[in-house]
Structures are given as structure tokens and as C-alpha cells.
């Protein structure tokens, strides 16, 4: 029988490009050993290749495990894409049952209460959450009762979490600082602003720290003159960016560490500052790709939601099955309009 699974299906599940899948399946060079294992294991799991060994996913014990993913609600396209990836990839795995829930991301009381209310049948939880005492305490209580917990995209420290699945956010911030300094050149006293969803998210705090560190070390001529929290909301971002541009008419750059880049770009366009102002954001979402093509966004620092969904599901499943698993961390990639990814 001919498999109905296509190369694109394998690429989507494995978190790689179709070209990489083609190279692996045809034994061509240019692919690391670990990536070959992931692609071949995914192809076997989907029925494209024969064989029962699956290096990239735990072997099934026969038990169906229940996982819950708690993600912030709102207009952050990356988080929505991550949620869809988790659901789509989980649907292909018979050994797990997954539910993705959203919550008000800037209300730790509500999230802590939701964590406490999770039923005992839940074997694992993945979440993006603020690094807040209430949430840390709720996670500790959840782990004490035997539920595994992993953090996604933004880490939470000093809790017995299973793993953190996401990029090194401090390194991402340093990369943004390097890009900003290089794109601005040697302009004297170049003024920039920094936007964040909320500094109570450790990932956003770490990106700011990395950004400031590189400017201080390598580009002392670049001055951060304003910092705004926009709650990853497009309308809030547009309002705050409009204010920043009015208060600092000579500003030359904006770095947005979280969501809401579309709103900032709208404010820049309305002000007529697209030609002189450097804008750097995060995530190669469909909207950000269009902003790159339109010249409103200069660069985005991307993390792959397919890879993060795959690794989160693999880690939780391996823990539930009491099997070892070698975590493959997502890579940080800079995307310009000249190297837009396919999806």
C-alpha cells in the first residue's frame, strides 16, 4: 500500500523544512545526525517508513496520558500558532490526549487558581506564565501530587519543572542589540526605545537584559530613551508607540521583545518614519513576514513553534512513560525579507 503521508507532513511534524526531509530520505549530505534521527523517527511514526524504532518519540506502553497546555490569551500570533501546533501534533499520537486552554496572561491569581483546579487525571502540564510567587507556589503543589510540569517560551525559576522548552532569551536579546547597533551604524547619540509585553515574564526581562548589555558593551552611542509595556496587545502597542514617537521625534530605533509588533509598525507608518527608523521584533509570523516585505520591519528573531510543540509533547510523553529522552532545543534564527521561511 502507498502511504498517504507526504514529505510536507513529515516536515511539519519534525519542525524542519521539506528540503531537509528530502535530503534525509534520500541520504544526501548537509544534515546533522540528530536531525536525521528526528526526521526518520517522525517518518516512521507517521507510517511513511517501515520500522518500529522511533528515536524522536517515546515507545508506547499502552496507557493514554492526559496533558494540559495553559497559554496566554490575546493577539500574540506566535502563542496562537504554538497552540495550534500542539493540537495538530498531539492529534497524530494515540498515546496522549491533549487539551490547550487559554487564560488572561497578566493575572497570576487566575492562573494559579486554574493550576490548583486541574484534575488528578492530568499527567503533565505545559505553560507560558509569569514568574510570580503565586504561580511558583501552584506549580510546586502540582508537582508534589505527581504531575509533571514544563515551561514554554518563557522560563520560571526555582520550581521543580521537568524542562524549559524555548530559546535562550538573553541570547536573543543580545542578538537584537547587535542587530540594532549594526543597522544604526555609527550615528552619534542614536536614540532607541524598548517595548515589552510585561517584565513579569522572565523571557521578556531576559531579552531586555541581553539587549541593554550589548548596547552598553559594543554600541555605547546608542541610548535607550524610553521603555513601554504593551501587554502583547496591538492596540496598546500602537497607542504607546504613537506617544513615544511624539515625545522623541528624533528616535531612530525600536526593539519589541514580545507581541504587538503590528501596532508599532502602524504607528511608524502613520508618523511617516518608516525610512529612518529601525524596527526589530520577534517571531516570523505571517503578519511579521508581511511587515518585512513592506519595509516597516527590519528583522525578526525567530523561534520555531513546530519544534517547541514537538519537544514539549515528546518530553511530557517520555516522562509519563518513564523513558529517557534527549531534548533538542530550538534554535535562534534571524529573519530578514531576503530569507523569509516558507511557513
Task: Give the list of residues 6+ apart from residue 117 with CB closer than 8 angstroms, or none.
Answer: none
Which of the residue ranges 3-12, 36-45, 91-100, 246-255 would you say has the lowest mean pLDDT?
3-12
Q: Are 112 and 127 spatial neighbours (Cβ–Cβ below 8 Å)?
A: no
Query: Predicted confidence band at 59 (pLDDT cuts at 50, 70, 90)?
Result: low
Which pLDDT score, from 0 to 100, does residue 343 have?
67
CB 229 within 8 A of CB 199: yes
In the block, cell 486541574 appears at 118
More confident site: 61 or 170: 170
Q: With a cut of 70, say whether residue 326 has pLDDT above it.
A: yes
CATH of region 1-56, choose from 1.10.260.40, 3.40.50.920, 3.30.70.2170, 1.10.10.10: 1.10.260.40
For residue 110, the model assigns a pLDDT of: 96
What pLDDT, on a 0 to 100 scale, did the predictor assign at position 42? 83
**pLDDT tens by residue, 87-121:** 999 998 989 999 999 999 899 999 999 999 999 99
Q: Residue 2: which pLDDT band, with cuts at 50, 70 and 90?
A: very low
What b/e readout covers 265-297, taking b as 16+ CB neighbours within 10 angstroms? bbbbeebebeeebbbbbbbbbebbbebbeeebb
CA distance 144 to 112: 15
**Grid cell of 259 as nine digits:** 507581541
The pLDDT assigned to 52 comes to: 44
Residue 9 has pLDDT above 90, yes or no: no
Helix (H, G, I), strand (E, B) or coil at 237: helix
The string of pLDDT tens digits covering residues 262-319 is 999 999 999 999 999 999 999 999 999 999 999 999 999 999 999 999 999 999 999 9
pLDDT band at 61 (very low <50, low <70, confident <90, very high): low
Place of cell 504587538: 260
Percent residues over pLDDT 70 in the chain: 95
| b (16+ CB within 10 A) / e for 45-78 | bbebbeeeebbbbbeeeeeebbbbbbbbebbbbb
Mean pLDDT taken over the chain: 91
- Of all residues in the chain, what percent carry a pLDDT higher than 90? 74
Strand residues in the chain grouped as ranges (E): 65-72, 96-103, 122-127, 148-152, 163-165, 190-196, 222-229, 253-256, 278-282, 299-302, 333-335
pLDDT number for residue 40? 86
Rounded to whole angstroms, how far apart are CA atoms 133 and 144? 17
For the chain, the domains span: 1-56, 65-166+305-330, 169-302
Tell me what pLDDT residue 3 has: 46
Whether residue 130 contacts residue 104, with contact meaning beta carbons closer than 8 Å, is answered with no
Give the architecture-level CATH label for domain 65-166+305-330: 3-Layer(aba) Sandwich (3.40)
The whole-number pLDDT of residue 31 equals: 85
Rounded mean pLDDT of 155-161? 96
- Which band of pLDDT confidence, cut at 50, 70 and 90, is reported for residue 44? confident
CATH topology agreement for domains 65-166+305-330 and 169-302:
yes
Assign domain 169-302 to its CATH superfamily. Response regulator (3.40.50.2300)
Whether pLDDT at 53 is above 50: no
pLDDT at residue 328, rounded to an integer: 82
**37 vs 263, higher pLDDT:** 263
Amino acid at each position: 500500500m502507498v502511504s498517504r503521508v507526504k514529505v510536507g507532513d513529515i516536515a511539519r511534524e519534525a519542525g524542519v523544512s521539506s528540503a531537509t526531509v528530502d535530503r534525509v530520505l534520500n541520504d544526501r549530505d548537509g544534515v546533522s545526525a540528530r536531525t536525521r534521527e528526528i526526521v526518520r523517527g517522525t517518518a516512521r511514526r507517521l507510517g511513511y517508513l517501515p520500522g518500529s524504532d522511533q528515536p524522536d518519540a517515546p515507545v508506547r506502553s499502552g496507557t493514554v496520558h492526559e496533558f494540559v497546555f495553559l497559554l496566554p490569551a490575546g493577539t500574540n500570533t506566535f502563542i496562537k500558532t504554538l497552540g495550534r501546533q500542539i493540537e495538530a501534533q498531539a492529534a497524530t499520537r494515540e498515546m496522549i490526549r491533549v487539551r490547550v486552554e487559554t487564560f488572561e496572561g497578566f493575572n497570576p491569581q487566575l492562573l494559579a487558581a486554574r493550576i490548583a483546579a486541574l484534575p488528578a487525571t492530568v499527567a503533565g502540564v505545559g505553560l507560558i506564565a509569569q514568574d510570580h510567587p503565586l504561580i511558583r507556589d501552584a506549580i510546586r503543589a502540582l508537582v508534589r501530587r505527581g504531575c509533571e510540569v514544563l515551561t514554554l517560551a518563557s522560563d520560571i525559576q526555582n520550581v521543580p519543572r521537568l524542562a524549559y522548552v524555548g530559546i535562550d532569551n538573553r541570547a536573543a536579546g543580545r542578538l537584537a542589540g547587535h542587530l540594532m547597533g549594526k543597522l544604526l551604524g555609527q550615528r552619534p547619540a542614536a536614540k532607541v526605545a524598548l517595548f515589552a509585553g510585561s517584565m513579569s515574564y522572565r523571557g521578556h526581562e531576559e531579552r531586555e537584559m541581553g539587549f541593554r548589555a550589548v548596547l552598553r558593551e559594543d554600541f555605547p552611542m546608542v541610548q535607550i530613551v524610553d521603555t513601554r509595556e504593551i501587554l502583547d496587545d496591538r492596540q496598546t502597542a500602537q497607542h504607546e508607540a504613537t506617544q513615544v514617537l511624539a515625545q522623541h521625534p528624533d528616535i531612530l530605533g525600536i526593539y519589541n521583545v514580545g507581541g504587538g509588533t503590528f501596532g508599532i509598525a502602524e504607528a511608524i507608518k502613520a508618523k511617516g518614519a518608516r525610512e529612518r527608523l529601525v524596527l526589530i521584533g520577534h517571531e516570523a509570523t505571517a503578519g511579521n513576514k508581511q511587515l518585512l516585505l513592506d519595509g516597516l520591519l527590519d528583522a525578526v528573531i525567530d523561534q520555531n513553534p513546530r519544534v517547541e510543540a514537538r519537544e514539549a509533547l515528546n518530553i511530557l510523553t517520555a516522562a509519563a512513560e518513564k523513558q529517557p529522552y534527549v531534548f533538542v532545543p530550538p534554535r535562534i534564527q534571524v529573519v530578514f525579507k531576503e530569507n523569509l521561511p516558507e511557513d
